Amino acid sequence: MKNIYSKLKWFFQKEWKRYVPMLFLLITISFIALLPAKLLGLAIDTIISGGLTSKTLSALVIGLIALPLARYLLSMVYNYMMNYEGQKLTYELRSDYLDHLFSMDSKFFETYKKGDLISRVTNDMDAMTIAATSLLESLVFNFTNIVFAILIMGFTISWKLTIISVSIMPIGLTILNIIRFKKRKYVRIHREIYAEMTEKVLESVEGMKVIHAYVQEEDDLKKQHHAIERDIESWRYIVRFENWFNPLFEVIYGIAYILAFGYGTYLIINQEISVGELVTFVSYVGMLMNPIISMSSVFSQINNATISVDRYDEIMQAQAEVHDDSDSIPILDFHTIDFKNVTFKYPFDRYPVIKNIDFQIHLGETIGVVGPTGSGKSTLIRQLLREFNVTGGEIYIDDVPIQEYKIKDVRNLVGYVPQEHMLFKKPVNENILIGNPNARSADLDKAVKIADFEKDINFLTDGIRTMVGEAGNTLSGGQKQRLSIARALVKDPQILILDDSLSAVDGTTERNIIDHLKEFRTGKTNIIVTHRFSAIRDADQIFVLEKGVITQRGTHSELLKQDGWYKNQYIQQITMN
């Protein structure tokens, strides 16, 4: 519990003005819960002694009615306050978690799978909220119930009877909870297996089209069933542990009950307590069962919550390697970009993807990047997005190292259209405006025109406000590409990067887009990664990348005069066409 409190201390400190009244409410409710048994004992002794009158009967009846009513009203107030605090904590934890995720770099998302991240923001966070609300309530309520019951039993009935009856409970519980503590490692394993199952289900849902296309439903279902069975089996182990473990608490309680009846009868015979007091005492022993069993469950929940807190904290403590420094400087535009001996290796790869890259880009130039599949083209141009720090060398913008600029400002210079187009279940215009939510209507129309998307709008059901299906499944491949291009263009970036983003359009559409870029992006930089040489024929510079190294550079006409990959591929494309 100490670990949980230390991690959630910030919330308790901020909300202490609510938690203090809730604490007093819980203590009051706990105390009231014990009073009916005391009244019952008094009633029995009054009846046995012959002292029952209409006045005492009325007082007893009123007391037995008033106490539950008071407990109900106080519980209603308490539950409202606790639910409010639980919802507030959940909101703040999830907000902080998502804010932190958005601040992380690409290495982080290669380290943690989607299913794992979702598991931590759902199951683990629920366990943390329970720890700060229901678990805290259970701990305080049950503890005060036990303490008040023992004090009433000792001070108003018999300390000897109390010690003999109750002493077995803490001894047994201590031993049992030492055994139960071993369960924590199995809970952690279960959480990891659950995350793997979530990842598999997500993968299947996202890849359903491919699964159907290749008739892999049966094989994929087998893999899903295997993941689900692993999850269930890991949970079964914990359940089996609980099945043989939980009945032991009832054994302890049964022993306490026998001791209470046996020694209590002896005390009645010796006239040290009354029959009513024994009934009250046995009632309190019975009332101790639920709090004690609940307290044992609390320890189990604490174990689970501790694991959840550690898993949540692991993410929140993770630091992005690519981050702003306190002295990072802003940047709004640029004149030159220099790659000087740049080498880059992905964190989990053995060898560099690009090696010893040197080139310079000037504002207003159009750059072409070509090369064999897997030669590092996308990796090269994505260095401008600052997803990772370069492994070697340096990238300069206007003679200042790129890492000295604010990350957000550097990325705002760039409009990036990736190979894989991520579209959202929103209208077409809203998907485009993700690139610039504050864009005017004229800016939106201009972006649509440059991307040559105008001709498609008339064929969409509701025009530009047509709802895009999940992951863009209601659009063709070419429409997805052009919508993504329009999204990048609506921000009117200093640098437009088209990362093989014209592969799904026909030759005429490609030519239209290239012509529009020349017309509307005068004075701005375009970087085009492509396999079609027609898209970069008029580029100011073309870089040929082979095995992560620039092997050729120059204009289209200059490269055709050189023997090498560019000339060979160009001839092949001409021949095929």
For residues 480 and 560, state if they share a domain.
yes
Does 325 reside within a domain?
no
For residues 168 and 86, state if they share a domain.
yes
For residues 476 and 341, state if they share a domain.
yes
Does 330 reside within a domain?
no
Does 528 reside within a domain?
yes
Res. 173 pLDDT band, cuts 50 70 90 = low
Does 345 reside within a domain?
yes
For residues 302 and 378, state if they share a domain.
no
Does 322 reside within a domain?
no
Minimal CA–CA distance to 395: which of 354, 330, 341?
341
Domain C-terminal end among 317, 346, 371 = 317
For residues 302 and 340, state if they share a domain.
no
Minimal CA–CA distance to 131: which of 19, 16, 4?
4
pLDDT digits 0-9 by tens, 291-305: 776 766 676 677 778
How many angstroms separate the Cα of 568 from the Cα of each of 257, 557, 559? 93, 14, 10
Does 276 reside within a domain?
yes
pLDDT for 208 beyond 90: no
Domain C-terminal end among 284, 317, 350 = 317
Element (H, E) at 498: strand 495-499
Element (H, E) at 215: none
> Containing domain of residue 464, as a range?
336-576
For residues 29 and 109, state if they share a domain.
yes
pLDDT for 127 beyond 70: yes
The rounded distance, in Å, linking the Cα atoms of 475 and 505 is 13
pLDDT digits 0-9 by tens, 237-293: 667 666 666 666 677 777 888 888 888 888 888 888 888 888 888 888 877 777 776
Does 255 reside within a domain?
yes
For residues 423 and 313, state if they share a domain.
no
Indicate which CATH number applies to the domain containing 350.
Answer: 3.40.50.300
Does 240 reside within a domain?
yes
The rounded distance, in Å, linking the Cα atoms of 18 and 479 is 54
Question: Number of structural domains, the chain?
Answer: 2
- Considering the chain, what is the average pLDDT of its residues? 85
pLDDT digits 0-9 by tens, 532-564: 898 999 999 999 999 999 999 999 999 999 999
Strand partners, 243: none
For residues 120 and 205, state if they share a domain.
yes
pLDDT digits 0-9 by tens, 429-485: 999 999 999 999 999 999 999 999 988 888 888 888 988 887 777 788 888 889 999
For residues 364 and 452, state if they share a domain.
yes
Task: Say which residue the tokens 């907000």 belong to.
Answer: 95
Domain C-terminal end among 286, 317, 348 = 317
pLDDT of residue 398: 95
pLDDT for 185 beyond 70: no
Task: Say which residue the tokens 């706990």 belong to.
Answer: 30
For residues 366 and 294, state if they share a domain.
no
The rounded distance, in Å, linking the Cα atoms of 19 and 80 is 12
For residues 311 and 445, state if they share a domain.
no
For residues 300 and 351, state if they share a domain.
no
